[in-house]
A and B are shown apart, each in its own frame.
Chain A
Amino acid sequence: AQSVTQLDSQVPVFEEAPVELRCNYSSSVSVYLFWYVQYPNQGLQLLLKYLSGSTLVKGINGFEAEFNKSQTSFHLRKPSVHISDTAEYFCASLRGSTLGRLYFGRGTQLTVWP
């Protein structure tokens, strides 16, 4: 079975500090990985995705993630966060054979304090 685990439900950080949101996946076949962000009262917005190629993926708003096959991880990082980054972040995976069905983690609420 395919699943995604987000290890932290809440991550509080101070403004301008670095942050890492953790995501691990399990799949016995090739997998594509995504990070989505949900700001209050909005839909999910794609931050970045890994399909193939370079394992370091850069996304919008200064976020990046690294695909690590040996550790089955796809952690999201940002070197310096802003208050506006406060949102819920979702890691998701996709298996090519399942025609677009995304598998999500439980989400991580990132709260940035001034």
Chain B
Amino acid sequence: DAGVTQSPTHLIKTRGQQVTLRCSPKSGHDTVSWYQQALGQGPQFIFQYYEEEERQRGNFPDRFSGHQFPNYSSELNVNALLLGDSALYLCASSYGAGGYGYTFGSGTRLTVV
């Protein structure tokens, strides 16, 4: 049973560019959340998708957007990249609300130069 799969694992982008990160949830899970983890910090909630709609959003600018597809997979898009966007981006999936905890992927390490 595959867990949460994220791609790519590492990425280097130039300031001002756009990036798309991808996530496939664990089999049987229908909810996908995205988190940003800066170096030495705990993860920060970006947003959550359920039934192809953004259900909840954290304190992130509109440059961060997402999408969920009918097969429950998800994409995170970041426009106009800033140096401060360099971080580990974690995808987490759950069935429904997630009160039993999320299953996390291994993340995408984004470096903006």
Are A and B physically bound partners? Answer: no
A interface with B by C-beta (< 8 Å): none
